[in-house]
């Protein structure tokens, strides 16, 4: 019901994780952390080492996981930690940070009373204002949004939806817009506040909208706001009228807001436009049924910092890491690697040696998702609760072992954990969880039939039913402030716009040659890192495509090739995340640069997020050039036909 049978490029490339030549064939023990000198051990020894460490550590156990950790595995980790009186797992990774997942859920909680990822029904909209939401690329459920967008563009009776996209850089979503607005970085909330103010003061739109806007619009000078956003006042006035007049107008706060100091404030301001238009997103304005299943929630960067402080203070004796790569994904200023040295035992469950596994003592490789059982409570669910089933489609290729079975095995020797985790194995646990689900859209009466249908249909979803409790918008305050940036304009003249690679994501896809070799849809570059800059900036600095540039921030520096494009503001440079690995196999290693090295460890003003979109940078030529792996011809764009 969610993706309508479609699959994204990363999903199609997933088969390479199964047969990857650098995939670990069994458990490993490292002689010295960081040496990358591993010796193979059998599973009995690996599990026994983990058991002895857990038995000794007591409450000094910590789990750091990523968002791709399945919900059933999160439940088992949580039960283990609760049993030994340890803090709950910390779930954090760069992908969800760059997507703004936690910030969006926080904003929805403040506006509608339910902190969950929103699902915007574009198929029902006639006007959409997107504020940095890359919903056709990497944002939340891009496959489902592709379906929604198709319906949005082909509405009945020839009524085609209109998209206005606000972002400093032209993304793959921005280029499909009817109107692309190269808004000043960090001013999205100011633009939304100005639109509210114009609707309120001009009594614009359908009945009731101006009155609603008057209760929400911040006190600001619209002319000054237009200057701060870099948008002509006349354009803002026209869009305010268009939004207010539309029957089904939708505003989307994108993930790029999350990395700004004012991200949560901006998200509230943008969501206030939906309150005015009566277009509350699905998934946050109703109460879902109680499924009886554990589901993970994302932690903030501030909570990751708290875990690092505990590690540094010697409070963590055993650190278990699953589905995340913090050594690669966290800024150096966070101090994770230094804190790791204070933990006696570090265990990675990674299937490959990534940057974090290289600093682990013990690697107990999990199976591929194509070899494993599990479940995931889908989010966002577009208003229809969905539990996705995970089940093996092939016989395990290597001697990997399901992490759920590893946890259940070690729990048997710890009395409190054994009581909390009484199942024989992972399948036994999952059968009990599925048997407790409410009635589904397909018929299933007995527990055995529920389990069979769950696997047959690939999951559970609810039969259409009325009676869900609706949430009215809560009282909330809209403020309109510009974001703060590290670095002076004199020393660091350019705003840094970081974005996740549409194929490599936050870097986890870099191990797969299928994803490395797919040309980026905006630059057609593959296998490399690059720096996008405007032709005016390139002319001023005498930069050409392929020039290797040293990009310097107050926190660090990297080197990457120049890519000159008119699809970005002259005061902004953009660099995708994903490259720059030192490990993660032969296809990812020593390729490109890691943009995270340019970031500090500062927090956003609200919510405790990482301020990854709040840095200014300087550019300098290194005097070297490379040939970029690009498929496009730029003749007539920035080369030839009058362009030098």
Q: Please report the pLDDT score of residue 488 as a whole number.
A: 96
Residue 642 scores a pLDDT above 60: no
CATH of the domain at 75: 3.40.50.740
What pLDDT does 379 receive?
86
- What is the pLDDT averaged over residues 208-216? 95
Residues 6+ apart with CB under 8 A from 65: 73, 74, 77, 89, 90, 91, 92, 296, 321, 322, 323, 324
Grade residue 465 by pLDDT with cuts at 50, 70 and 90: low
Give CA–CA dist 570/230, Å, rounded: 12
Residue 639 has pLDDT above 70, yes or no: no
My answer on whether omega of the bond before 380 falls inside 30° of 0, hence cis, is yes
Residue 226: C-alpha distances to residues 163, 236, 479 (Å): 20, 7, 16
pTM, to two decimals: 0.94
Distance CA 351, CA 367 (A): 7
The per-residue pLDDT for 289 is 77
77-93 mean pLDDT? 98
Q: Which comes out higher in pLDDT, residue 629 or 332? A: 332
Calculate mean pLDDT across residues 126-132: 96
Domain boundary pick from 441, 461, 481: 461
Which of 461, 485, 520 is the last residue in one of the domains?
461
Residues 84, 136 within the same domain: no
As separate numbers, helices (DSSP H) first and strands (DSSP E) second, the chain gives 21, 20
Euclidean distance between CA atoms 362 and 73, whole angstroms:
19
User: Is residue 261 a part of any domain in this protein?
Assistant: yes
Domain membership of residue 32 as a residue range:
25-91+296-378+386-461
Query: What's the confidence (pLDDT) of residue 534?
Result: 98
Can you give the pLDDT at residue 643? Answer: 43
Q: What DSSP assignment string belongs to 37-79?
A: -EEE--HHHHHHHHHHHHHHHTT-EEEEE-TTS-HHHHHHHHH
Please, which pLDDT band fits residue 462 given cuts at 50, 70 and 90? confident
Report the chain's mean pLDDT, rounded to a whole number: 93
Average pLDDT over residues 354-370: 97
Please state the rounded mean pLDDT for residues 268-292: 88
Per-residue model confidence as pLDDT tens digits over 163-185: 999 999 999 999 999 999 999 99
Question: Is 483 inside a domain boundary?
Answer: no
Same domain, 140 and 160: yes
285 inside domain: no
The answer to whether residue 124 is domain-embedded is: yes
Q: Count CB atoms within 10 A of the CB of residue 302.
A: 13
**How far is Cα of residue 416 from the mean position of the Cα atoms in its chain?**
35
- The reply to whether 404 falls in a domain is yes
Q: Is the pLDDT of residue 284 over 70?
A: yes
Same domain assignment for residues 308 and 456? yes
The verdict on 417 and 394 lying in the same domain is yes
Judge whether 19 lies within some domain.
no
Which is it for the CA torsion 401, 404, 407, 409, positive or negative?
A: negative
pLDDT of residue 636: 67
Residue 156 has pLDDT above 80, yes or no: no
* Residue 541 and residue 418 in one domain: no
Query: How much is the pLDDT for 353?
Result: 98
Does the pLDDT of residue 631 top 90, yes or no?
Answer: no
Local confidence band at 8 (pLDDT 50, 70, 90 cut-offs): confident
pLDDT of 457 over the 90 cut: no
Kindly give, in sequence order, each residue whose CB lies less than 8 Å from that of residue 265, ignoring residues fewer than 6 positions away.
189, 479, 480, 481, 605, 606
Q: Are residues 244 and 300 in the same domain?
A: no
CATH number of the domain bearing residue 589? 2.40.40.20
Return the CATH number at 206: 3.40.228.10
Do 87 and 160 lie in one domain? The reply is no
Do 59 and 119 fall into the same domain? no
Same domain, 336 and 192: no
pLDDT category at 141 given cuts 50, 70, 90 is confident
Among the candidates 250, 277, 304, a domain finishes at 277
pLDDT at position 1 is 62
> Is 560 inside a domain boundary?
yes
pLDDT band at 206 (very low <50, low <70, confident <90, very high): very high
Examine the pLDDT at 644 and tell me if it is beyond 50.
Answer: no
* pLDDT at res. 282: 82
- Domains identified in the chain, total number: 3
Residues in the chain: 644
Same domain? For 249 and 333 the reply is no
The more confident residue out of 139 and 339 is: 339
Please indicate, yes or no, whether residues 452 and 589 belong to a single structural domain of this protein: no
110 and 242 in a common domain:
yes
């Amino acid at each position: 019901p969610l993706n309508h049978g479609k699959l994204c490029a990363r999903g199609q490339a997933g088969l390479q994780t199964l047969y990857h030549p650098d995939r670990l064939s069994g458990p490993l023990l490292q002689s010295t952390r960081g040496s990358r000198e591993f010796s193979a051990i059998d599973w009995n020894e690996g599990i026994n080492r983990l058991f002895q460490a857990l038995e000794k550590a007591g409450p000094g156990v910590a789990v750091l996981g990523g968002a791709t950790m399945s919900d059933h595995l999160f439940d088992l980790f949580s039960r283990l930690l609760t049993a030994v009186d340890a803090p709950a797992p910390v779930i954090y990774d760069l992908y969800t940070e760059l997507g703004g997942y936690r910030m969006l859920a926080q904003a929805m909680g403040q506006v509608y009373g339910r902190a969950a990822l929103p699902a915007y029904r574009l198929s029902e909209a006639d006007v959409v204002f997107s504020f940095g939401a890359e919903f056709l690329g990497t944002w939340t459920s891009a496959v489902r949004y592709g379906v929604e967008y198709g319906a949005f563009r082909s509405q009945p009776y020839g009524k085609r939806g209109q998209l206005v996209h606000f972002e400093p850089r032209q993304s793959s979503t921005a280029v499909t817009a009817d109107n692309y607005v190269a808004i000043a970085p960090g001013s999205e909330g100011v633009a939304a506040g100005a639109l509210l103010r114009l609707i309120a003061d001009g009594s614009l739109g359908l009945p009731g909208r101006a009155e609603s806007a008057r209760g929400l619009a911040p006190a600001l000078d619209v002319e000054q706001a237009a200057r701060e956003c870099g948008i002509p006042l006349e354009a803002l006035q026209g869009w305010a009228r268009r939004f207010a007049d539309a029957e089904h107008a939708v505003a989307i706060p994108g993930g790029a807001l999350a990395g700004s100091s004012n991200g949560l404030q901006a998200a509230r301001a943008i969501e206030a436009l939906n309150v005015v238009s009566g277009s509350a997103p699905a998934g946050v304005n109703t109460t879902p049924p109680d499924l009886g299943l554990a589901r993970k929630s994302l932690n903030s960067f501030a909570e990751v910092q708290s875990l690092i402080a505990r590690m540094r203070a010697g409070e963590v004796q055993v650190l278990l890491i699953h589905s995340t790569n913090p050594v690669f994904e966290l800024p150096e200023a966070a101090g994770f690697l230094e804190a790791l040295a204070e933990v006696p035992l570090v265990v990675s469950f990674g299937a490959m040696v990534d940057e974090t596994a290289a600093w682990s003592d013990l690697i107990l490789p999990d199976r591929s998702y194509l070899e494993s059982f599990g479940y995931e409570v889908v989010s966002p669910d577009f208003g229809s609760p969905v539990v996705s089933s995970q089940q093996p489609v092939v016989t395990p290729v290597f001697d990997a072992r399901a992490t759920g079975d590893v946890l259940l095995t070690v729990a048997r020797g710890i009395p409190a954990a054994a009581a909390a985790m009484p199942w024989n194995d992972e399948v036994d646990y999952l059968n009990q969880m599925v048997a407790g689900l409410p009635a589904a859209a397909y018929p299933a009466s007995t527990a055995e039939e529920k389990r069979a249908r769950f696997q047959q249909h690939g999951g559970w979803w609810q039969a259409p039913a009325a009676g869900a409790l609706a949430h009215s918008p809560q009282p909330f305050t809209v403020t309109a402030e510009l974001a703060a940036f590290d670095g002076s304009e004199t020393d660091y003249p350019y705003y840094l716009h970081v974005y996740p690679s549409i194929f490599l994501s936050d870097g986890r896809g870099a191990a797969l040659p299928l994803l490395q070799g797919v040309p980026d849809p905006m630059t057609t570059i593959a296998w490399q890192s690059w720096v996008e800059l405007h032709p005016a900036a390139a002319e001023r600095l005498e930069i050409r495509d392929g020039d290797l540039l040293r990009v310097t921030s107050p926190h660090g520096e990297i080197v990457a090739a120049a890519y000159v494009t008119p699809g970005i503001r002259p005061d902004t440079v953009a660099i995708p995340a994903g490259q720059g690995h030192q490990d993660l196999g032969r296809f990812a290693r020593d390729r490109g640069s890691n943009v995270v090295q340019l970031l500090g460890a500062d927090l956003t003003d609200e919510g405790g997020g990482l301020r990854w979109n709040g840095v200014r940078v300087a550019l300098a030529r290194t005097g070297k050039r490379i040939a970029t792996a690009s498929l496009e011809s730029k003749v007539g764009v920035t080369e030839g036909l009058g362009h030098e």
